[in-house]
Amino acid sequence: MPNTPYLLAVLAISFTITLALRAVPFAVLGRLRDSAVVRSLAVWMPVGILAVLAVTALHGTVTTDPGGTRYAPLAVAVTAAVHLAFGRRTILSVGAGTAVYVLLLNTL
């Protein structure tokens, strides 16, 4: 069993690294806010993240439960419709799409 000073040193190093990795982007972002690249990333990154999430979720659906695949397009459509209708609120749209998929999967 490692002694107490060793554990405290490991915790201090871990804390410092974690804090630095989380603080550096915010410190640098102030200088890059006027950058065209940052503005472009702000527009396209959420779309890309949602696309990766959708592909991953749908791939998992197709491979684990081929019978549930017929409900996935409806859940995707609900997700897109809620996202566009209610001010692009990601949590609301993903939650609604997930709820529709789970309800369809468990009731039909």
Q: What is the pLDDT along the chain (108 residues), one digit of tens a residue?
A: 679 999 999 999 999 999 999 988 888 877 887 888 888 888 888 888 878 888 887 887 778 877 778 888 898 899 889 989 998 888 899 899 989 988 988 887
pLDDT score for 99: 93
pLDDT at 9: 95
Domain borders along the chain are 1-33, 44-107
**DSSP code of 34?**
T
Burial class (CB in 10 A: 0-12, 13-18, 19+), 94: middle
- Sequence-distant (≥ 6) Cβ neighbours of residue 78 within 8 angstroms: 96, 97, 100
Does this model's pTM top 0.85? My answer is no
